[in-house]
Structure formats: C-alpha cells, structure tokens
Structure 1
Amino acid sequence: MMNIALSLAGAGVRAAESVSPRWGAAAAMPLFARVDRPRPVRTIDLPTMSRARRSVVRIPGVAGTGVDVVVYEWGAGSRTVVLAHGWNGRASQFATLVRELIAERYRVVAFDAPAHGDSAGRRTYLVDWRDVLAALQVRYGRFEAIVGHSFGGLAALVSTAGGIETERVVTVAAPAAAETLLTQFQSMLGYSDPTSDALGRLFARRYFPGDADPFAWLSAVRRPLPGTPLLVIHDDADLRVPFAEASRIADANPGSRLVSTSGFGHNRILTADRFLDAVVDFVTQPIPPSSREAEVSAAAIREPAEAVAV
C-alpha cells in the first residue's frame, strides 16, 4: 500500500515538473512536510509512559501561531537527560532507555514534537525540536546529555552547535544534514534535479524566510559541535538512514565515538542491548577536561562573531 501511494505521489510530482521545476516543487512540498498519523504506544511501554509526570511547553511552531508540546518526566535530581525522537516517532520509543537511565538516578525528560504522539499541531520541522530543547533548557538548566534518534539526532546536533548547553550528545540512526533528507525524498519520488533544487529553495523560503542559506546550519557536517563529547550509534542494516551518515557525522566531529550495531534497522535499535549499554556507559563516564576546555574555547570564539553579525 505504501509503495502504491509513493508511486502515485511520484507520478503527480513528475507530471507537475513537466510544466516547470517550480510546479514540481510546489507539488512535492506538501508531501515532504507531511507527518503520518501518530504511531501507537507499544503495549510493553505503556507502564513506563503511565508513570511519567506530564506537562506542556508552548513554542511558536512553524506557523508562528503557537503549539503545545507534551513533555514527559521521570526521576528527579539535577542531572537531566533529554530524549528527542525522530520524524513520525514519539517519546514512548525511548521507554526501554528511560528505565535504564532512571536506574542510574537521572532525571529523564522526553517530548512528543508537534503533530507527533499526544502533541497538537499538523505541521512541524526541525526548528520545532530546537525550540522545544530551548524551552526545556529554561526549565531544567544545562543538560547532562541529549539523546536524539533519527531526525531528533540531527536536531540535537544543530541545536547544540547553536547554543543549547549539554555535557554530551548521542545520535542514533541520524542523518548528517537536512540536505540528506531532500536527497532521499527525491530518490523516493523520482523527480529531476532541477525540481529538487527548486524544492530546496521553496523549503528555505517557507521555513526560514530571510535566511539566505539555512542548510549551512541545518548540517552537522558544515556546523560541527563546539567540542561537546559525541557518541554516534547506527545500525549497518538501517534502510531509512544509510550507515554512511554516521561516518559523516563522526568525521566532522573529531574525538567522537562511533558504535555500530547489526540487524536492528532504523527503529528496533532503540531496544538493542548494545545501544542501551553504549548510551548508559557514555552518559555516566566523567567528561575529559580537554573536552570542557574545547567547548569553552569554542564558545568564546562564537560570542564575538555573533556580536559582529548583529
């Protein structure tokens, strides 16, 4: 059924681009931004989710009219680990990791992004993940770690590079840049390069008006972390986000650690023992002094540059 839907969608975009690439981009844009119906919470994860303390943070949303985002919290204390799900995901996908981190006495915070899970809204994009992380930073202060899956992993990277304060970052099955998503979308629907270029321009105007090159900061390659310790986890059988993306992220962030799994794919990796053990070990180990010094130095360099830009 999904293949039929994709075939029909691709045929529609290709028909539109026969008139012009701009028409093709206009036909593709609603499909690119579409969020599927929220996935159900797995039965095995219901007890963990029922024990969460629920609250709401309000962010502007891509439409700028405001949207309420549901937040889940477990545990207590000053050490906060934030979990960011991916596109068409939800917080409950992290339930197994939540239980592991609670056992280590961390406060664990997760959220359902706009149009996902129990949160309101119909449209969303990476800026919403960034705004949620910023709102949670105001509430909880500096994070002990951000763990991001897929699209949420890219959000964790660009948000930290943009000023969100966290001791560590973990990405799981994450793309290295927003351009990767556009390339994958083109491959799925089979439209031409001129239409892809037009879609990129339309995307930039729609979501980042006034920003001449939003892809410059929507990239973990072009905008690496400011010395923040990074753990990159990816499965070699991931059919959604190619394993090569993990290498791109790791190569752009010297000193990062790359862990691979095998046979779990894009989503089941979140319950794999190797993933769980790697995250817990990474989050609980002391931060090397050199990493802290590098982050402080990078921040000191950024501040004058930002002042000049203003």
Structure 2
Amino acid sequence: MNQKLIKTIGKLINFTSYLFPHYAAKMAVKIFSTPRKGKLNDEEKNYLRSAIQETIIYEDVSIKTYLWSGTKDTILLVHGWESNAFRWKDLIEILKSEHYNIMAIDAPAHGDSGSKIFNAVLYSECIYAVIKQFDPSVVIGHSIGGTASALAINNHTLATEKLILLGAPSNFDEVIDNYVKIMGYNKKVIKAINNYYLKHFGYFPEFYTVENFSKNIHAKGLIIHDKKDRIISYKDALHISKYYKNSKLIKTVGLGHGLKNETVYNHILEFLNA
C-alpha cells in the first residue's frame, strides 16, 4: 500500500470519526488487524509437508501446527506479523540435527490457519491453547510472536522452562502508536480505537506492556535484539530486560529485525544446552 493511498484512507476515517466514531474505530482496527501477506506459497507448503500437521481450535479460530519429531525437549516456534511457520526453516533444520522435538504454528490470519483478523491478544490465547495441548518446555518467539508468547505464559502462569524473545516489542501501545502515525489519525479516532480495545479486550492498549505481562513468567529467558532494528527499537529489548529479571540480553549489530543468522542460532543452541 503506497503512502498516498495510506494517507487518503486515514483522512477518510478521520472524517468518518466526526459522524460515526464507533464505525471509524472499527474500520481503523480492522485495517490494523488485517495482514496483507503471510499466507503460504508453494515452496513453503512443500517444506512444511515434511512435518506432522494438526489443526487445533481456539474458540472459532483454527490454528495449524507442525511437528518434527525428536527425542529431546519440545520447542515451540512462534512467528511474527505477516509471516508463517516457514520463516523458521533454517532454525528447524539446526534443531532437527540436535534431535529436539520441534513444533511451529501459523498465527491467526497467517499461513494455513483460520480467521481474517489478527491481534496480539487473540494470538496469545491461541498460543496458550497450543502450549496447553503439547506442553513445550521451550518457547521461541519472533517479534510480536515473542510478546504474545510472553503474554500467554504470564496470563496463564505456565510452567515453561525457557523463553527466547527475538526482536520482540516490549508493549503493544507503541505498535499501535506507530500505526496511528502512519495513517495520520486524529485524536477522535485514537480515542475511539482505545475505547474499542477496552470494550473487546477489557483494557486500553497501554495496559499491554512488559511491566504488566512479565510478573508471572518464571521461565529462564534469553532476549536477542539487533541494535539497528528498524522495525522494533532496541530500546524495547532494554525495557524487557529491565522487568524480565530472569533473563539475559544479547545485542547484535547489523542483523536487522529478522535475526536469521548463524550467530543468533549459536546463541540459541548455547542457551538451550545450558
């Protein structure tokens, strides 16, 4: 979506907010919650066929899971926005060679999972449903998948042993703020969006910050974040590290937000084998 079109849509929603604020909020949240990409292409489908596939249901959302059987601990891989389980291919192959039992999932509205919308709160509950059924001892989450994993573990006080966060945001409020700035929404739309979250999730977006979703996490943590991450600021990693007491922060430079790199994988293996 080009910048001119984005600003045009933003102006239309701003105008609508003066007449129908609830409808404007609904449209703004829908745009924010609808991934433009992340569905599986043929190459990705072919690779994922090497896994044992199963679908589990959370409420009315079908979540596709992938399992590569191994003899060691079960590791759950949780991807981020506009991605899917295939993003873990390189790490999966490394973990397979180490004989780990590996699981990956597709988020709501991504990959081969159901739903037309995505939000981090919904994702966290889907992650909880998967953890409850398969009981992984380790969870590795990238970007918003990491934050949603932390939220799931915290909210349900899960006995996960290790949690690895790769390029994860420390709060949802900042993610929404970035979206608001991109669209150019006025204060009326922002207020309506906040009220929408309060109505549907019970909290304003600013509630979902690391101070509030790390208190019940007892898992040993590893945080890896790139100093020059242009998607999620390195400040977020510092923020998480401050409140996630049982964790270690590793800074990389020049690996970007994706963190698909041998150095990162070596840090992960060292942490898993410790």
TM-score w.r.t. length of structure 2: 0.89
Kindly state the Cα deviation for residue 47 of structure 1 after the two structures are TM-superposed: 6.2
Question: Where does structure 2 lack aligned partners over 5 or more consecutive residues?
Answer: none
The residue aligned with 1:106 is 100
2:153 corresponding residue in structure 1: 160
Whether 1:90 and 2:84 are equivalent positions in the alignment is: yes
Taking a change above 3 Å as real, the CA distance of residues 135 and 29 of structure 1, as seen in their structure-2 partners, is closer
| Cα pair distance change 1:4/1:40, threshold 3 Å | farther
Higher mean displacement: 92-101 or 188-197: 188-197
CA distance in 1, matches of 2:67, 2:32: 31
Secondary structure of 2:129 counterpart: helix
1:10-159 paired onto structure 2 within 5 Å: 10-17=10-17, 24-41=24-41, 43=43, 48-60=47-59, 66-77=60-71, 79-141=73-135, 143-159=136-152
Q: Distance in 1 between matches of 2:128 and 2:117?
A: 19
**1:275/1:37 Cα in 2 relative to 1: closer, same or farther (>3 Å)?**
same
**SS class of match (1:7):** helix
Distance 2:7 2:204 in 1: 31
Quote the residue 1:196 is aligned against: 190
Displacement, 1:215? 4.8
Letter in structure 1 aligned against 2:265: L
TM-fit CA distance, 1:157: 1.0
Q: Which residue of 1 aligns with 2:252?
A: 261
Q: Aligned equivalents of 1:41 and 1:277: distance in 2?
A: 29
Shift of 1:89: 1.2
Q: Is the 8 A contact 1:73 1:109 kept in 2?
A: yes
User: Residue 220 of structure 1 aligns to which amino acid in structure 2?
Assistant: V
Match 2:220 to one of 229, 244, 262:
229
By how many angstroms is 1:194 displaced?
Answer: 4.4
1:168 corresponds to which letter in structure 2? K
> Equivalent residue for 2:3?
3
SS of equivalent residue, structure 1 residue 222 = helix
Alpha-carbon distance in 1 for matches of 2:224, 2:21: 37
Identity %: 22
Contact 1:158 1:219 in 2 (8 A): no
For 2:268, what is the secondary structure of its paired residue? helix
Report deviation, 1:88. Answer: 1.3
Q: For residues 237-266 of structure 1, give each alpha carbon's deviation from its aligned partner in whole angstroms, at most 9, with x where no partner exists.
A: 322222211111111112421122222322
How has the CA–CA distance of structure 1 residues 116 and 201 changed in structure 2, closer, same or farther, with 3 Å as cutoff? same
Q: CA deviation at 1:94?
A: 0.8
Give distance in 2, aligned partners of 1:68 and 1:221: 31
With normalisation by structure 1, the TM-score equals 0.79
What is the one-letter code of the residue matched to 1:223? F
Q: Distance in 2 between matches of 1:47 and 1:274?
A: 27
Which residue identity lines up with residue 52 of structure 1 in the other structure? Answer: A
Cα separation, 1, equivalents of 2:165 and 2:222 = 6
What are the Cα deviations for residues 133-187 of structure 1, in whole angstroms up to 9, with x where unaligned? 333233323x221111111011111111122321011111111112122111111
8 Å CA contact retained: 1:144, 1:283: no
Task: Give 1:22 deviation, angstroms.
Answer: 5.2
The answer to whether the Cα contact below 8 Å between 2:161 and 2:218 also exists between their aligned partners in 1 is: no
Runs of 4+ in 1 over 6 A off after TM superposition: none
For 1:123, give the aligned amino acid.
Answer: I
Give yes or no for contact 1:169–1:231 (8 Å, CA) kept in 2: yes
CA RMSD of aligned residues (A): 2.4
Q: Does the 8 Å contact 1:182/1:196 carry over to 2? A: no
Q: CA deviation at 1:276?
A: 1.0
Q: Say which SS state the counterpart of residue 95 (structure 1) adopts.
A: helix
Q: Which amino acid aligns with 1:84?
A: V
Q: Which moved more, 1:124-133 or 1:253-262?
A: 124-133
Distance 1:246 1:18 in 2: 38
List gaps (5 residues or longer) in structure 1: 61-65, 286-310
Distance verdict in 2 for CA 1:28–1:47, change over 3 Å: closer
**Selected match of 1:273 from 262, 269, 273:** 262
